């Protein structure tokens, strides 16, 4: 029961829904004040349940310091999760930089919620949608140019130094400013906001309203509070929000059509220009595709053997929709320089700087996979255009 002796923080909003007294504690994700708000709210209210804006996977990663030690880099490559893991590391790097400036660990307010739930004997509810589902829905529903724009903004936001102080972080907690940020995001990439913010508002609201007990404290980002208040009084089906985006026939068709077109152009070149002309086109294909893909792995500071393997494999994998150049490059790099337990343990420190990110063997393998694929894609486009231009 809520004590009448201690006032609740301003960040705590009370609402009654589904027969429960629900208290939403709006937080900034890197803020000492938010940690104190969470602690004060739970100690004062002593709820039956505490909901935190974490999914089970993120909860495990935050509570298990040895989480990275269990990562199988070969499995990550084979299951095509390289970009997903790399994005996680880049975001972790961004939050680490902020935490170093402010002296607060990222997610400290969530962990305080977990800790206080244990102290008051409340049920703990991980109320957020699985992070992998969220990212796949965000990425899967974006068009090509929106994906390029999103990647550019992600990289720019992580590797560009930004003067962020604690006052700025605390100002972000104000609802009017947070709503302004969301409006800006909506105008820039509305699909990202829909999947990343709006859908999770609904998801969080349903998990909170169905939490056990009569009194619930929910620790959520301040930007989610308005959306949760909008949906918490109604019951929503969460199944559609957990579905992965369909692969789409267009993507599958393109994977097979591009190699078929390249092969058709090479055959057409043979009939139009003869064997010599056709062989020159083959040389162009191998040199351009192989060189650009190898350049990508070289940019990731890959082992020379990896660079050579990528150069030889890229022109062939570009003609095979089932195998990617980055897949070959990553496996060779992992074989040549197999990550040790120490390398895995060093990830949290390594991602604190661009230099450390590039030097860590695990991060380097992920970069090798992504940059080899980028180089191969560019090579396919440039070489294919060149060969076609020579014929017509």
pLDDT digits (tens, 9 = 90+) for 117-157: 999 999 999 999 998 898 888 877 877 677 766 666 655 55
Tell if the pTM clears 0.85, that is, is over it.
no
Is residue 95 domain-resident?
A: no
Q: Which residue has the higher pLDDT, 134 or 249?
A: 134
Looking at the structure, do residues 260 and 377 belong to the same domain, yes or no? Answer: yes
pLDDT at residue 321 is higher than 80: no
Per-residue pLDDT averaged across 193-222, rounded?
94
What pLDDT is recorded for position 4? 44
Domain boundary among 210, 242, 274: 242
Looking at the structure, do residues 153 and 32 belong to the same domain, yes or no? Answer: yes
Looking at the structure, do residues 238 and 301 belong to the same domain, yes or no? Answer: no
What pLDDT is recorded for position 380? 87
Domain boundary among 242, 257, 292: 242
Strand partners of residue 21: 16, 215
pLDDT class for 14, splitting at 50, 70, 90? Answer: very high
pLDDT class for 199, splitting at 50, 70, 90? Answer: very high
Per-residue pLDDT averaged across 325-332, rounded?
89
**In sequence order, which residues have a C-beta less than 8 Å from that of residue 71 and are 6 or more positions away?**
85, 344, 362
- State the angle between helix axes of 131-140 and 82-102 in degrees (0 to 180), rounded to the nearest 10: 110
Domain boundary among 242, 273, 297: 242
Looking at the structure, do residues 44 and 158 belong to the same domain, yes or no? Answer: yes
The answer to whether residues 329 and 376 touch, using CB atoms and an 8 Å cutoff, is: no
Is residue 91 domain-resident?
A: no
What pLDDT is recorded for position 78? 74
Is residue 200 domain-resident?
A: yes
What pLDDT is recorded for position 138? 82
Percent pLDDT > 70 in the chain is: 73
What pLDDT is recorded for position 3? 43
Residue 319's Cβ-side half-sphere holds a number of Cα atoms within 13 Å equal to 18
Is residue 3 domain-resident?
A: no
Per-residue pLDDT averaged across 203-223, rounded?
96
Per-residue pLDDT averaged across 17-44, rounded?
91
pLDDT class for 181, splitting at 50, 70, 90? Answer: very low
Q: Which residue has the higher pLDDT, 103 or 362?
A: 362
pLDDT class for 182, splitting at 50, 70, 90? Answer: very low
- What is the residue range of 23's domain? 12-69+104-242
Residue 279: burial class (beta carbons within 10 Å; 0-12, 13-18, 19+): middle
Looking at the structure, do residues 167 and 26 belong to the same domain, yes or no? Answer: yes
pLDDT class for 251, splitting at 50, 70, 90? Answer: low
Looking at the structure, do residues 301 and 213 belong to the same domain, yes or no? Answer: no
Phi, psi of 123 (to 5 degrees): -70, 135
Q: How far is CA 338 from CA 41, 73, 84, 331, 333, in A?
A: 47, 9, 20, 10, 8
Looking at the structure, do residues 266 and 348 belong to the same domain, yes or no? Answer: yes
Is residue 93 domain-resident?
A: no
Looking at the structure, do residues 291 and 358 belong to the same domain, yes or no? Answer: yes
Is residue 111 domain-resident?
A: yes
Structure tokens at 250: 């267009």
Q: Per the structure, how many domains does the chain have?
A: 2
pLDDT at residue 6 is higher than 90: no
Looking at the structure, do residues 37 and 168 belong to the same domain, yes or no? Answer: yes
pLDDT at residue 253 is higher than 60: yes
CA-derived radius of gyration, the chain: 25
């Amino acid at each position: 029961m809520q004590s009448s002796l201690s006032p609740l923080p301003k960040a705590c909003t009370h609402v009654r829904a589904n027969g429960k007294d629900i208290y939403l504690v709006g937080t900034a994700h890197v803020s000492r004040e938010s940690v104190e708000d969470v602690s004060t709210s739970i100690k004062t209210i002593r709820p039956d349940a505490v909901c935190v804006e974490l999914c089970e996977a993120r909860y495990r990663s935050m509570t298990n310091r040895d989480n990275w030690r269990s990562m199988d880099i070969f499995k990550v490559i084979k299951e095509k999760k390289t970009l997903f893991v790399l994005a996680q590391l880049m975001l972790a790097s961004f939050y680490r930089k902020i935490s170093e400036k402010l002296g607060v660990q990222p997610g400290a307010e969530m962990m305080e919620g977990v800790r206080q739930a244990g102290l008051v004997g409340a049920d703990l509810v991980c109320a957020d949608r699985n992070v992998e589902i969220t990212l796949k829905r965000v990425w899967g529903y974006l068009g090509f140019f929106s994906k390029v724009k999103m990647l550019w903004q992600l990289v720019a936001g992580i590797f560009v130094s930004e003067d962020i102080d604690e006052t700025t972080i605390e100002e972000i907690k104000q609802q009017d400013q947070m709503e302004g940020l969301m409006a800006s995001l909506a105008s820039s990439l509305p699909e990202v906001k829909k999947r990343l913010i709006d859908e999770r508002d609904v998801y969080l609201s349903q998990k909170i309203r169905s939490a056990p007990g009569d009194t619930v404290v929910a620790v959520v980002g301040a930007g989610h509070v308005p959306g949760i208040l909008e949906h918490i009084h109604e019951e929503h089906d969460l199944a559609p929000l957990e579905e992965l985006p369909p692969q789409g026939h267009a993507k599958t068709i393109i994977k097979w059509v591009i190699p078929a077109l390249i092969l058709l152009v090479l055959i057409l070149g043979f009939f139009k220009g003869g064997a010599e002309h056709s062989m020159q086109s083959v040389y162009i294909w191998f040199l351009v595709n192989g060189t650009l893909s190898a350049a990508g792995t070289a940019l990731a500071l890959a082992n020379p053997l990896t660079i050579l393997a990528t150069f030889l494999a890229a022109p062939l994998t570009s003609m095979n929709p089932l195998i990617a150049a980055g897949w070959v490059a990553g496996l060779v790099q992992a074989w040549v320089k197999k990550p040790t337990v120490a390398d895995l343990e060093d990830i949290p420190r390594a991602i604190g700087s661009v230099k450390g990110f590039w030097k860590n063997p695990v991060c380097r393998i992920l970069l090798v996979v992504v940059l080899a694929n980028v180089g191969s894609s560019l090579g396919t486009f440039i070489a294919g255009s060149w060969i076609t231009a020579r014929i017509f």
